[in-house]
């Protein structure tokens, strides 16, 4: 048994201060209290909030973070589609060892920023010639190993990627991604589930790349007749071109087609869903499906702004992800998301719980519960006996934190802190910080730098 003493712990009903959390040998919470008769094993001058859930990640893309900001001076527009060409070049070059090294560095950085679990939207499945490895989930296995190396939980989402666009064959640059048909994908999904058994904090979910990436009738078949006990992730309506191409091919916008054909419910997690009509926004919210928003990447790629204010008013549920990892701070993701809504609505209460009026509390509540569901975790309690102890830690001595009363603490954390005020995480009951294990941190960093120098994509 290990006991942590904290300056404060955020529960669903508010702050406990001080807080004592005892965990068993597996990292599961045995008790939470504001008093303790025994001396704590760790006395942390920190406030603890639920560990952040990163509901959308492409790990290999971390190797190109920041590289797409040198733009051509020609008249050719630089947009999502030109960025995608650069991403494809990287995807064609990464081998399994490099995938594991890149992901280990990335996941370590996620932990440093307060994430304790990641949903890995994984589509680099095959070798550099586009042939499946003898072990179908060889690349996914490396991602699970990277998560274990770093100490983060992972939901591996092997992605079904079949087409090069609506009604189009895949192009050469997509050859590492492709599953020819439903049966091939389901075999990959099964193999991915098997590799998740190698790590106690790994599980599997189902994923379709996009409406343009798989023949729509097969999407429908998998949605209605495929595994129904897993979260279902899909990119949708991220770009205006995708919407216009869908109208031309299907006669319907992507989200409307999903609403009409796939019986959306709470197991669906629609990534981006940027360009929606009022009817689509209402349809997602009323179906119980979730959206996964990635504000730093969506801003970086010029995707657009999700209609969050309207969606919120309809009771819509949403989580956040870091996608291409141009940004890794969950609090920054929340601020970008909120401020985009404020700038377009000219209102300040876009994050707002009608019962409390606390924008910070509302944001944490939403991304905790919806993010967990994206990972097949349905616990509604932030810290409950029997659940793993996963927490992001905020320095209680940071001046703005130290001077705030409990009623203002959550909003201060969400709107006024940066990574310098974060002092590690507790992941599955284990305290993780660079100070605790400097040798491991140094090795992860040196391996990553050596890997990228070998890839030579940043030179």
Which residues are known catalytic residues?
A: 272, 323
Beta strand ranges found along 305-442 (DSSP E): 317-320, 391-395, 422-427, 430-432
Length of the chain in terms of residues written: 459
Beta pairing class for 290-293 and 317-320: parallel
* Alpha-carbon span 159 to 214, nearest angstrom: 10
| Torsion from C-alpha of 391, 396, 397, 402, nearest 10 degrees | 150
Q: Determine whether 216 is exposed, middle or buried from the number of CB atoms within 10 Å of its CB (0-12, 13-18, 19+).
A: buried
Q: Determine whether 172 is exposed, middle or buried from the number of CB atoms within 10 Å of its CB (0-12, 13-18, 19+).
A: exposed
Asked if residues 161 and 123 have their Cβ atoms less than 8 Å apart, the reply is yes
Cis peptide before 18, with omega less than 30 degrees from 0? yes
SS3 category, 207:
strand
DSSP 16-39: ESSEEEEE-TTSBEEEEES--SS-
How large is the angle between the packed helices 330-345 and 406-416, nearest 10 degrees? Answer: 90
* Alpha-carbon span 339 to 276, nearest angstrom: 19
């Amino acid at each position: 048994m290990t006991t942590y003493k904290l300056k404060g712990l955020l529960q669903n009903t508010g702050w406990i201060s001080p807080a004592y959390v005892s965990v068993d040998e597996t990292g599961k919470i045995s008790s939470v209290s504001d008093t303790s008769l025994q001396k704590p094993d760790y006395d942390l001058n920190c406030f603890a909030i639920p560990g952040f859930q990163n509901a959308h990640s492409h790990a290999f893309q971390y190797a190109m973070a920041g590289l797409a900001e040198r733009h051509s001076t020609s008249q050719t527009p630089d947009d999502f589609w030109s960025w995608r060409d650069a991403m494809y070049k990287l995807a064609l070059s990464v081998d399994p060892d490099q995938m594991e090294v890149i992901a280990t560095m990335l996941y370590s950085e996620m932990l440093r920023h307060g994430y304790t679990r990641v949903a890995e939207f994984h589509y680099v499945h095959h070798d550099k010639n586009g042939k499946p490895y003898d072990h179908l989930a060889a690349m996914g296995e490396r991602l699970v190993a990277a998560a274990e190396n770093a100490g983060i939980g992972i939901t591996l989402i092997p992605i079904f990627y079949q087409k090069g666009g609506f009604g189009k064959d895949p192009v050469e640059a997509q050859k590492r991604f492709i599953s020819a048909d439903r049966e091939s994908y389901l075999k990959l999904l099964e193999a991915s589930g098997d590799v998740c058994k190698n790590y106690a904090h790994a599980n599997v979910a189902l994923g379709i790349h996009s409406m343009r990436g798989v023949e729509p009738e097969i999407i429908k078949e998998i949605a209605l007749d495929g595994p129904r006990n897993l979260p279902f992730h899909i990119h949708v309506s991220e770009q205006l071109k995708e919407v216009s191409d869908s109208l031309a091919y299907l006669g319907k916008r992507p989200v409307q087609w999903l609403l009409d054909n796939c019986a959306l419910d709470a197991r669906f997690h629609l990534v981006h869903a940027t360009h929606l009509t009022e009817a689509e926004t209402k349809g997602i919210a009323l179906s119980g499906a979730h959206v996964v928003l990635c504000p730093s990447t969506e801003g970086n790629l010029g995707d657009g702004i999700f209609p969050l204010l309207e969606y919120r008013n309809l009771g819509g549920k949403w989580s956040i992800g870091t996608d291409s990892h141009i940004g890794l701070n969950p609090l920054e993701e929340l601020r970008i998301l909120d401020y985009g809504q404020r700038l377009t609505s000219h209102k300040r209460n876009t994050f707002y719980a009608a019962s409390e009026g606390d924008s910070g509390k509302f944001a944490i509540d939403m991304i905790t519960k919806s993010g967990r569901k994206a990972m097949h975790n349905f616990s509604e309690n932030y810290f409950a006996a029997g659940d793993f102890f996963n927490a992001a830690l905020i320095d209680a001595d940071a001046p703005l934190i130290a001077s705030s009363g409990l009623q203002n603490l959550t909003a201060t954390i969400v709107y006024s802190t940066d990574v310098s005020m974060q002092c590690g995480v507790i992941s599955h009951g284990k305290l993780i910080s660079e100070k605790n294990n400097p040798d491991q941190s140094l090795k992860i960093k040196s391996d990553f730098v050596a890997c990228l120098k070998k890839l030579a994509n940043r030179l």
